[in-house]
Structure 1
Amino acid sequence: MPNERLRAVMASGGWTHATLAEKVEVDPKSVERWVNLNRTPRRSTAILVAETLGEDVHALWLALRQARPARAVSPELVALYDQRADIPVSRS
């Protein structure tokens, strides 16, 4: 399944696989895989590509969206036990 968004952005900017690859210092085959096989590059490379193309990295590669951050632990739970060793161990 191709990455149509990346393909469209490259086409509208006149980018070829070779020119984008040269600009972000990767092999043209890598760019071809991103476009035609919807492969996701390393985060640092994806960010560089997005900046080069003037796009949001998450618009080009949805897989790079991070999961929602973990919620903070409530102060009541932190105050319940002073140390980890104080937590009772249940034995089944």
Structure 2
Amino acid sequence: MTKDNYQISKKRIAPFYILISIILMWFIGIQLFGPDERDAGAKPENIIYSGTFTWEKPDGSSEKISVPGHYDVSPEERMRMISIFHTLRLTNSFPMS
């Protein structure tokens, strides 16, 4: 065998290098000019969950709890938690006809 068998044509390798160059330029461009992970105008109240968590106990009672937290639950018992989102009431500002 000679080295000629392992030579790759420049016509075949050029599209590969062009593609890799385009991907590299796209990646660098997105890193420099793309959007951040978090919007600078984001308000903390929109990021932090403002709902409540309720623990429904096996005996039928319920208790508001904070998450994260530590609670006495035996390994055989299931801890059923319900999350309640605060709802926004909108009023109709247009006259009904």
Q: Same fold (TM over 0.5)?
A: no
Higher strand content, 1 or 2 = 2
- Which structure is larger by alpha-carbon Rg, 1 or 2? 2
With normalisation by structure 2, the TM-score equals: 0.20
